A = this chain, B = another copy of it.
Amino acid sequence: MICLHDATKYFSLMLLDETDKTLLKLLQKDCKQTNKALSNVLGLSVTAVYERIKKLENSGVISNYVALVNKEQVDKSFVAFCHIKLVQHSQDYVVKFEREVAKLHEVLECYHISGDYDYILKVLVKDMQEFREFMVKKLTNIDHIGSTHSMFMINEVKHTTTITI
């Protein structure tokens, strides 16, 4: 787990060789593989794999290990993207909006972006009714929101957490 005071560890970027990159690819696909299985693929000893993983963890390249949940299996199949414009862009308004939006568990992602709108949000709920509730009771209750524009997911073409290095 990454703590605030660990930030000092990340001043310099770690140099990754091809073996590190392959290892990261494997771990991003399945982090429950045993070091023995990884050692077979990489052609290294178990200890070498162990040391490399520890180095990737300590340098902050690997931030954490998580279980991914199938949204359909937990009845959260409705994905919406909300564009948001603030009424003003003073430091005060921005900070407050960002803090409030981060608290909403329906919001999986929120980015400050260039363009016509200030923010884009990815929202995950059960269905259109729950989305309506979310908009009326939660999102638009946050101060300083000027306008919103929502788009709904028809189909998920691709969704990966794997970064190709």
Q: How large is the interface on A (under 10, 10 to 19, 20 to 34, 35 or more residues)?
A: 35 or more
Indicate whether A105 sits within 8 Å of B164 (C-beta atoms), given known contacts A110-B157, A157-B111: yes
Q: Is A130 an interface residue (CB 8 A)?
A: no
What B residues does A31 contact at CB under 8 A?
A: 31-32, 65-67
A91 at the interface (CB under 8 A from B): no
A154 touches B114 (CB 8 A): yes
A112 touches B154 (CB 8 A): yes
- Contact across chains for A76 and B112 when beta carbons are under 8 A apart: no
Question: Quick check: is A139 within 8 A (CB to CB) of the other chain?
Answer: no
Q: Could you tell me if A152 and B113 are in contact, using CB atoms closer than 8 angstroms?
A: yes
Binding site for B on A (CB under 8 A): 1, 10, 13-14, 16, 24, 27-32, 59-76, 79, 81, 98, 101-102, 105-115, 119-120, 124, 151-165
List, sorted by A's number, 16 A–B pairs whose CB atoms are closer than 8 Å: A27-B66, A28-B69, A29-B66, A31-B32, A62-B70, A74-B163, A76-B163, A81-B111, A81-B120, A101-B157, A105-B164, A107-B158, A110-B157, A111-B153, A114-B154, A120-B151
